[in-house]
Structure 1
């Protein structure tokens, strides 16, 4: 499974690396809402949450579904303008001004992403603002998500300008309360990462650059597509002439373990990626993670793991212990080995197998990172 971005014929100058204050604010708000996703910034999240005035904290709760369960595309609104020269702003005010340029239909569609994920990547000639059936469906789906979502959806569909003004004021108040200081601390790091990736693209090409952005990103040999290894299947294009050719890579300090790929139909794609840090492990491929989970799901292999977790064993020893044939043990060990869960060491004419405890210990965090990516 992967999210595929078609880039055939895309000029290199249309591949842009740029930080976005609004996107970083959205990621920071997500970290505040879901601190369990972001253990690396737990101290910042705790201190920031404690400093919020009650009025602002209450308003953030009213809208947290925009960045909590889904990362609303309004936080990357520059990609929805049909002008490929538009890039993220240098300040939050500039990003908010860009967001204001979206028409009401685009804004409402992006804000209601949490109610229409099944139609996210497809074209639709209709809008919930004008189509009664889509209007009713949006309210119905929002109701299933909770009373806050229903209230917000009904208000947005009834009066888009008022909601847009309310959301902008909310972000401006966040800037005054805590984000201005946060942005001043991280913006130089993000700008440096963007410059580094741009230079790497110029010197070594796209494949090396994608590997540096994230091991979860890859480019095919013909350089016609970028694949993001995620537990999702979707396609988009960076060469749609109607919206302007281009793809933007937005670095983030608060993003790990998420790798967000905006693939909304009619918008230019955006890859919102975490800036690498020494404390962050490289992401495991979805395929390799599935191999590990499947390998451990078999009851006999679980029993074998009980032995080889404690000490190295030969195939013969394990066969004798469990009363099964050596070839059957070998087949089970081969599955564990393909999954990267065991190591083999030769001792004279014997080969001993032992569970790699460090790898197995990571499975919990690997699971979370894979499903959150």
Structure 2
């Protein structure tokens, strides 16, 4: 599974690495709502929460479906403006871009995860289609009365909700985000400059590889592939391609591929992991390999010491070919190391890889 971006004919000047204060504020709200996704930021989360005004905290819950379970495209409004806008240098500039979205764009993006709209193809606008409106209210009802009230307000009077959201975000900036942004913006600007230079001198493939090992370019096919547990596709238009760094976002790698919007990658810049993250297919292969009862028993021995195929066959009462087949599955999944000693081949479980599997799986599903 993956998200694919058709970049056929995309010129280098149509590609921009640029930070966004509004996107980082949206990620800050997500971290505060779902601290379990970001254990490395526990200190920051605790500090902000401790001094947060109770009234602002309550308002934060009013529309938290925009940032709790996922990341709303409303925090990346530049992608929705025809002609190739880029994020603003300040939060005020980014909020002005948010104001430039039409009511239809604003409501569709705000209720994306409420009404289950098809994301990457043309669908009826929720403000003009009674069936989609009804679906939005039905799904909102399953999320609780607070979301129902917000959805009803949004459908009945979009301008008032837009004003509410702008005021809320400005209050968040005053309460905690301005200080955070003053510390983070230099890191994000430096990362954007480095990747822009890499793009100019080494090309798009190298620049994307520096974003994440799970982002690849097939130059012959004119296609970017982002390895994620979702299926999606989009095409670069006259707007080009935006890449927005985030300091708070790891492990999330968000791909905006909404129909009619400019494609955008919102990628984390925090320190890379010691090893490249496994692909979704590799994760599936490893979990399948470990789920078999025979291979689980083999792993009990292989985790403690190195064994030959014959030794494992004798211990488990199986034939050598049977053991070899199971070892082959584990090796193909990247879970074994092997070494030759004379005429003997010794196999051992790579406990480092297995130990990472839990966090790899979590990063994979949050990516």
What TM-score do the two structures reach when normalised by structure 1? 0.96
Task: Please say if residues 190 and 253 of structure 1, whose CA atoms lie closer than 8 Å, have aligned partners that are also in contact.
Answer: yes
Query: Given the alignment of the two structures, is residue 5 of structure 1 paired with residue 5 of structure 2, yes or no?
Result: yes
Partner Cα distance (1:95, 1:118) in 2:
25
Q: Give the counterpart of 1:328 among 322, 326, 333.
A: 322
TM-fit CA distance, 1:146: 2.3
Query: Given the alignment of the two structures, is residue 165 of structure 1 paired with residue 159 of structure 2, yes or no?
Result: no
Partner Cα distance (2:115, 2:44) in 1:
33
The corresponding residue for 1:61 is 61
> 1:256-295 alignment to 2 at 5 Å?
256-278=250-272, 282-295=276-289
SS of 2:76 mapped into structure 1: helix
TM-fit CA distance, 1:147: 2.1
> 1:1-373 alignment to 2 at 5 Å?
1-84=1-84, 86-124=85-123, 126-222=124-220, 224-239=222-237, 244-278=238-272, 282-373=276-367
TM-fit CA distance, 1:279: 5.5
Partner Cα distance (1:281, 1:27) in 2:
25
Which runs of 5 or more residues in structure 2 are unaligned?
none
Task: Please say if residues 82 and 239 of structure 2, whose CA atoms lie closer than 8 Å, have aligned partners that are also in contact.
Answer: no
Worse overlay, 295-304 or 280-289: 280-289
Task: Please say if residues 129 and 157 of structure 1, whose CA atoms lie closer than 8 Å, have aligned partners that are also in contact.
Answer: yes
Task: Please say if residues 115 and 132 of structure 2, whose CA atoms lie closer than 8 Å, have aligned partners that are also in contact.
Answer: no
TM-fit CA distance, 1:39: 1.4
SS of 2:255 mapped into structure 1: strand
Partner Cα distance (2:273, 2:286) in 1:
23
The aligned length equals 367
Partner Cα distance (2:34, 2:192) in 1:
26
Compared CA separation, residues 22 and 280, structure 1 to 2 (3 A): farther
Task: Please say if residues 241 and 264 of structure 2, whose CA atoms lie closer than 8 Å, have aligned partners that are also in contact.
Answer: yes
Partner Cα distance (1:229, 1:118) in 2:
22
TM-fit CA distance, 1:345: 1.2
What TM-score do the two structures reach when normalised by structure 2? 0.98
Deviations 1:141-172 (A, max 9, x none): 11122222211111100110110000000000
TM-fit CA distance, 1:282: 3.0
CA RMSD of aligned residues (A): 1.2
Task: Please say if residues 10 and 245 of structure 1, whose CA atoms lie closer than 8 Å, have aligned partners that are also in contact.
Answer: no
